[in-house]
Structure 1
C-alpha cells in the first residue's frame, strides 16, 4: 500500500486538476443544440395583489417563443416542503401553497411572476420590460413579532395568521423547568439575534430542462447537492413525472453550503417548459437574482435563560425563539429551528432540564432554510453566550464553569432526546489550553493596550449532530424522506473499480476521500478507483450531501458494499487455490491461505469473476458488483473547544481577529488535509457572520443588502492564520469507519467564540457591555460602547 494511499493519508485532491486548470464541467458549461433561454420577471414589491398581466406586446417581440404566468401552473403541484413539524398542541404546521409562478399575489421581492422563453437571454430580458403588470402594492410584514400581532398583514390570505407553528420541546419538561428557575440560586439571561445570512456560493444556480419526444423522458441539469431528492420532489409532487421517466444530473457544483439542497421553482419551470416547447430551456441565475431567490438563513430572535444552583451547577435552560420562515416553506425549513436546534440545546453539558419554545413566522421576505450548520450554530451561539455571561456575573473562570458542568460519561442521554455515543470534552479543553497559550494572554493584552487597543479572549465549547438519522426516527419527527445513503461498487475484470454513490460533492473532495476508504479495505492503490456521482441515471438512490453526512453515511454505505465484494471475492479465491473460504485472508491486494504460502492477486480474482473458466458456478454467479444502503442508528456527534483573541479599537469600534485556535473531535479522520480545509472554510464563514454579514430588509420588505456593495463577505485579511487540531478524536461507536463529520464544525463553533472575545475586550476597557449582537461591525461595537458608558 503506497504511503499516501489509504485512511489517514493526505493525498492531493484529484478533482483539483480540472478545477485549477479551468476544465471543470459546471451546469452553465452545458449548452444543448437548439436550446432556448428563460428570463424570470420578478416582483419588485414585497407584497402585492396581481390585478392583471398583459403579455401581448412582449409576445410579439423578436425571438420570443412563449410567456408563462401563474395561470399555466394552477394544476401543477406546490413546491413541496420536505419536513412537517407538529406544534406543541399536537397540530400540524401551516403549509401554504408555494406556486411555480406567482398566482394572484406576490409575497416577497424576487417572487417570480412571469417566465419569458426566447431564442436568447437578451431577447427574453427585453421582452420582460414590455410586459404590463398591474400589481396593487399591499402593506408588507417583515418584523417577526409584529407579524404575530392581532390585525397584522397576512402573508397568506388563506391562513388565519402568520404563525406557521408554535413548537415546544420537551413539552413535558416545561413545568419542571419553570420550577427549577423559581428555585435557582442564580439565573442568567440574554436576548440575542442570529442575523440573517445570504449563502453566496461561488457558482450561482443554473437549470436546464430537456425533453426527448421519442422516449418521453425528461432531463434536468441543475446545480444541486442532492439530485435524487430533486427528482423525487419535482417528479412526484410538482410536475407528476414518474421517476423512471425523469433524470436529474448535477455535474460539478461550485459550492452550496446548504443553499443547493432544496428544490426551487426554476428547476420545475425549465423541466416543464422543455417538454411544452419540445426544446431545451436554460436559466442561469445572476448574482443579483441569487440575493433575491436563493434560500437565506438563520434569522432567529431569542431569549435564553440559564439556571444554576449554589454550587454553580447548571440546573435548567429555557429558551424562547422567533424563527423567520420567509414567505414560503422551503424544503427543510421547519426542521432547522426545531429538531436541528432544540435537540442541541444541551451542548456539552449535563443540564438535567431543558425547554425550548420556537415560534416560526411567515414574513414578506425570501424563504429561509439550512445553511452550514443548520440549527446547530443557532443553538451553540445561544448556549455559549449565556454561559459566558453567567461566568462574569458569578465572578468565576469561564473555562472552570464549563469544565464543572461537562458531560463525562458516555453514552449520555440528554434531556432533549439525543444520546451522545462518545466524546471527551475535558481532553479537548486540555488540548485547547495547551495550544492557545492562555498563560501568555495577559502579556499580549498589555502589548495591545500599549497600541491603544483593547484585547479580548473568548472561548467556546460545542457539540453538533451530523448524519441525520435514523430514518425511522426522523420519520416520526416529520421528515418526508428517508435519510440513508447508498453505494454501488463495480469491479472491472482487470481489477479497476467504479464506485457509484448517492452522495454528491460541492467542494468536499469526495473523489479523493472515497477511494481512500475502498482502497484501504482492499489493499490496492486509490488510483484504481473512480467515483461517479450526481446523475440519477447511473447512481443508486441517495439523499445527497448536507449535514456533514458524506463520509459518516455515504462512506459507510461504501464500506458495506465493499464488504460484500470482499466476501464474494474470497469465495472465488478459495476456489482458485482449492482452499476453504474460512481460511482466506486479504491483505495488500493479495488473497492468501492462512498458514501457507499460497496466494492469488486481486487482479487474478477479478479476472476470474468475469472470465469464469475456472469458477464455482454452482456456488457463485459471475461478475463482481454489489450495492448497499446504509441507514445509521444514530447521529454522529463531533465536538470542539475554540479560543479567539481580538483587538478592538475603542475610537472606531473596529474588531480585528488576532489569533484563533481550535481543538476538534471528528472521530477517525480519513484525510487530514481535507479536514483542515473544511475547518478553515467553516471558521471563515462563522467569522463572516460574527463580524460582517447581515441581510437587511426595510419596513417595506425591500432588500437593502442586495449586492456585494452592501453585503460584506469575509476576505483573506479578515481572518488570521488558524491554529487547528483534530488529533484527539474519540471514534464514533455506531458506524463502521468510526467517523463523525467535519464540514460544519468551524461555522458552529466560531460565532460565539468571536462575540465572547469582543465582550471580553470591551470589559477590559471598562465598558459595561454584556452583549453585542452580530454582526459585531465597528458601528455596532461603537454604539454599544457609547450606550454603556464606562463601567
Structure 2
C-alpha cells in the first residue's frame, strides 16, 4: 500500500508527529494532582524541622488540636506506635570488606531526632489549608540542638555528633569497582599522568509541578487510593504495601495522573505519601497535601554532590593506559529509594566513557550528612562520570599538547571493536564515536575557531571551545545481573494491547509519562506495527488499577524496556490474529502474511483487515472456538538482555567578558546516536531540555548549606539560579542512527543525553577561554571574575 492509502504509515516510526497530549496541556485541560479535590477533602500541613540536627525533647500539640477546623495532629511517636515502617532503600551496596551498607531507619515523621532542615516532625490536618497552617504555629516543640555535619569532603569521621548512631563515622559504605592491581601497573609504566580534583555541585530539582499527594480510604471496602505526582505508581504501591504501611496490595490503588515533570525527583517513595494515606485512614476522609515551592527546596531529593580525585595515565603518544578515581558521595541525612546505586552502579560502570582505556579502578565512599537526601537527578550517575572523564581528558590534552579533538579520536573505541567489553563491567553493543565527533567538528567549524578567538580578543573578550564525548547506559538490565549487584526489585516492564470490537486499540503500559510524549510515540509504534490510524490508539499509563505491573519511567528506559514489552504484546496479538484470519480465509496459518493492517493468504488476493479480525474475535459467530478463546487482548513482560548505550559529542563555544565575568554561550552543537528515532521532533525537544539542565549546572545552579548551622542558604529562587531563555543559545542538533543490537526496536534512549555531557562541555569551554586547567562549577560571573583576578595577581607581582 502507498503512504496515502495507509494513514498509519504517515504517522509511524520516524515521523515528526505533533504530540497528541499537548492539546490538553496547552489549553489548561491537564489533570494534575493538585487540580483534584475529593468530596469531604481535608488538608494537611507538615511541620518541618528548623534545625539541621537536634534531639526532639518534647512535642505539645494540645493547643493546635483545639484550633478551629483542626481534625488531628499526627506525630512521629503516633505513627511509630501504629507500626508504620521505614522508607526503604531499593539497592543494597556492599563495602570493600563485604559488609552491607549502613541503613539507618528513615521514618516518615521523625520520632527521636531531626537530621536536616526540613525533616518532617508533625502533621496538622484541618478543613482548610490556612487553618492547618495557623494551627501548626501553635505546636510547641522543644529541641536539643546538636552539631551538624554538612561538607561532603570532610563528613567521613567528622568530629561531633554522628548523623546516625548506626554509622558513627558517617560512612554508609566504602565501595570499589575495577581492577586495582592492573590499574596500578598501568600507572607505573605511564609517560604522562594527568591529575585533577573536582567537585560535582549539588543540585535542587525544580519540576514545573511541585509534589502533591491525596490519600483516600473507604471504610466499607477497606480500599485505599493514593493519587500522587510519581514517575512509577506501581512501585510506590509495592513500597507502600510491602514496607511502610503493610497494606494488602489488592486493596491499594495508586494513581499518577498528568505529572508536570520529574527529572528523577519524583521516582522515590516520599514520606508525604505515607502521611496522607495514614491520615485518611485515621479520619475516614480524603487528605490532600501540596508542596509549596520553598518546601520543595528542602524536601525533594537533591542531586549530584560528589568530591573526586581523578588520575589518567598515558603513554608517550597520548594513548590512555589507566584511570584511577576516588570519590566521596553525599547521601544526605537518609538513604532515599535509589540513592545507594547512583554513585556506584550507575557511575563507576560508566568510567570507560567512549575510550578504550584498558585498566580502571574506582573507590566510592558514601557519607551521611545533615542535609536533604540525595538521589537520582536527570542522568543519575552518568553525568557525574562523564564530567570527570571529559574534564580529565581536557586536562590531559593541555598537559601533553595534543589537540583535544585528536586526543579523543586517538583513544575512541571503534565500530570494528563492537561489541566491546569495558574494564568496568559493561558491554557496548554499537556506536560510531568518531563519526559523531567529526560531524560536530564540521558543524561548529572547528578549523575556523582560532580566527574567531582572535576576533573576540580584539573586542576585549575571551573565546573558548569545549568538547564532551559522552556515553550513557539506559534501561538498567537484566534483572538477574542487577539483582546480583544489589537491586531489590526486577527491572523488566510490561504492556497490555487490547483490541476493542470496533477496531480501536487500548495499550496499557507499566512505564509512566511525565513530559516525554509517550501518548504520541507509543501510538506511532502501534499504528505502524498494527496498521491502524493513530487516532484509534489509546495509551494508558499511571494507574495501578488499569495497567499491568511495571517499574515506571527513569533512566531513559521507556522505549527500550516498556516499548519492547509493548512490541511483544503486539506480536502476540498478530500471532493470534493470523490464526483467526486463517480460519476466516480458509487457509493454513503458515500461509498468512501480515503487513499494513492487512492479513493476506500468500500468493493470492484473499485479504482481511485487522479491524475485521477484532470484530470476529469479540463476535465469534464464525470463529475457531475449538482452538482459540474469544477476544483479542494480550499482555507481555520484557526483561532486557543488556543496557542500551546512547552516545554522542557536544561542542560548545563561549565568550567571556573579563570585566564582569559573564559567560555567554555563542553556539552549542550536539550530534547524538539514539539508535532508531521514533519521533525526531520529540527527540530534539528532549535534547534541548537536557542541554539546558547541563548548562544550568555548569553556569548557574548550586545548592549551598551553611557549614556551621546546616541551614539551607539557597532555599528559594531568590538564591538558587535557574536557567532562563537568555542564558541558552539556539541549539544545533543532529542524530546519527546506529541501531541498538539488543532490542528489536533498535532504540537506545534520549531523555537524559543532553544532561550527560552538557555540564562537561560548557566547563571545558570556560576553562579554555580562561586558559586554565580547571575551575569548579558553577562558573558564575563572580567565580569567573575572581578566577581571572587571581590569575592576573601573580603576573602583576612579577
TM-score after normalising by structure 2: 0.97
Residue number in structure 2 paired with 1:645: 653
1:590 CA drift (Å): 1.3
SS of 1:305's equivalent in the other structure is strand
Residue number in structure 1 paired with 2:487: 479
- Asked if residue 65 in structure 1 is aligned to residue 68 in structure 2, the reply is no
Residues 123 and 411 (structure 1 numbering): CA distance in 2 closer, same or farther, change over 3 Å? same
Residues 552 and 740, structure 1, Cα contact 8 Å, conserved in 2: yes
Alignment partner for residue 289 of structure 2, among 267, 283, 294? 283
The 5-angstrom pairing of residues 542-621 of structure 1 reads 542-621=550-629
Residue number in structure 1 paired with 2:515: 507
Q: Deviations over 1:2-29 (max 9, x none)?
A: 3531000011000000000000000001
Alpha-carbon distance in structure 2 between the residues aligned to 1:374 and 1:457: 26
Residues 463 and 656, structure 2, Cα contact 8 Å, conserved in 1: yes
SS of 1:724's equivalent in the other structure is strand
Alignment partner for residue 353 of structure 1, among 359, 366, 376? 359
Q: Which runs of 5+ in 2 are unaligned?
A: 1-5
Greater mean alpha carbon deviation, residues 402-411 or residues 579-588? 579-588
Residues 4 and 10, structure 1, Cα contact 8 Å, conserved in 2: no
Residue number in structure 1 paired with 2:533: 525
- Asked if residue 725 in structure 1 is aligned to residue 731 in structure 2, the reply is no
Residue number in structure 1 paired with 2:99: 91
Alignment partner for residue 301 of structure 2, among 278, 283, 295? 295
Residue number in structure 1 paired with 2:783: 780
Alpha-carbon distance in structure 1 between the residues aligned to 2:484 and 2:577: 40
SS of 2:627's equivalent in the other structure is coil
1:443 CA drift (Å): 2.5
Residue number in structure 1 paired with 2:239: 233
Alpha-carbon distance in structure 2 between the residues aligned to 1:31 and 1:84: 39
SS of 2:142's equivalent in the other structure is strand
Residues 32 and 258, structure 2, Cα contact 8 Å, conserved in 1: yes
Alpha-carbon distance in structure 2 between the residues aligned to 1:157 and 1:410: 48
Residue number in structure 2 paired with 1:373: 379
Q: Deviations over 1:628-674 (max 9, x none)?
A: 00000100000011100000111121110000001100000000000
Residue number in structure 2 paired with 1:710: 719
Residues 147 and 153, structure 1, Cα contact 8 Å, conserved in 2: no
1:347 CA drift (Å): 0.2
Residues 312 and 320, structure 2, Cα contact 8 Å, conserved in 1: yes
Q: Deviations over 1:596-639 (max 9, x none)?
A: 11111222111000011111111111000000000001000000
1:159 CA drift (Å): 2.9
Alignment partner for residue 681 of structure 2, among 667, 673, 685? 673
Alpha-carbon distance in structure 2 between the residues aligned to 1:175 and 1:578: 69
Q: Deviations over 1:55-86 (max 9, x none)?
A: 11111111110101111122211000111101
- Asked if residue 271 in structure 1 is aligned to residue 277 in structure 2, the reply is yes
Deviation above 3 Å: which 4+ runs of structure 1? none
SS of 1:758's equivalent in the other structure is helix
SS of 1:147's equivalent in the other structure is coil
SS of 2:164's equivalent in the other structure is coil
Alignment partner for residue 774 of structure 2, among 750, 771, 774? 771
Q: Deviations over 1:534-575 (max 9, x none)?
A: 000010000000000001111000000000000000110111
Residues 152 and 306, structure 2, Cα contact 8 Å, conserved in 1: no
Alpha-carbon distance in structure 1 between the residues aligned to 2:355 and 2:294: 43
- Asked if residue 629 in structure 1 is aligned to residue 637 in structure 2, the reply is yes
The 5-angstrom pairing of residues 435-454 of structure 1 reads 435-454=443-462
Alpha-carbon distance in structure 2 between the residues aligned to 1:398 and 1:103: 55
Residue number in structure 2 paired with 1:332: 338
Q: Deviations over 1:490-513 (max 9, x none)?
A: 000111000000010010000000
Residues 24 and 252, structure 1, Cα contact 8 Å, conserved in 2: yes
- Asked if residue 750 in structure 1 is aligned to residue 758 in structure 2, the reply is yes
- Asked if residue 254 in structure 1 is aligned to residue 240 in structure 2, the reply is no
Residue number in structure 2 paired with 1:766: none
Residues 653 and 778, structure 1, Cα contact 8 Å, conserved in 2: yes
Residue number in structure 2 paired with 1:736: 744
Residues 235 and 242, structure 1, Cα contact 8 Å, conserved in 2: yes
Alpha-carbon distance in structure 2 between the residues aligned to 1:374 and 1:293: 18
Residues 440 and 526 (structure 1 numbering): CA distance in 2 closer, same or farther, change over 3 Å? same
Residues 146 and 152, structure 1, Cα contact 8 Å, conserved in 2: no
Alpha-carbon distance in structure 2 between the residues aligned to 1:245 and 1:523: 38
1:150 CA drift (Å): 5.6
SS of 1:146's equivalent in the other structure is coil
1:451 CA drift (Å): 2.1
Residue number in structure 1 paired with 2:496: 488
Residues 250 and 534, structure 1, Cα contact 8 Å, conserved in 2: yes
Residue number in structure 1 paired with 2:186: 180
SS of 1:17's equivalent in the other structure is helix
1:736 CA drift (Å): 1.1
Alignment partner for residue 689 of structure 1, among 688, 697, 701? 697
Alignment partner for residue 210 of structure 1, among 216, 236, 250? 216
Residue number in structure 1 paired with 2:406: 400
TM-score after normalising by structure 1: 0.98
Residue number in structure 2 paired with 1:16: 22
Alignment partner for residue 317 of structure 2, among 311, 321, 326? 311
Q: Deviations over 1:688-714 (max 9, x none)?
A: 000000000002110000000000000
Alpha-carbon distance in structure 2 between the residues aligned to 1:64 and 1:85: 44
Residues 79 and 99, structure 1, Cα contact 8 Å, conserved in 2: yes
Q: Which runs of 5+ in 1 are unaligned?
A: 764-768
Q: Deviations over 1:292-341 (max 9, x none)?
A: 00000000010110000122110100011110000000000000000000
SS of 1:383's equivalent in the other structure is helix
Residue number in structure 1 paired with 2:120: 112
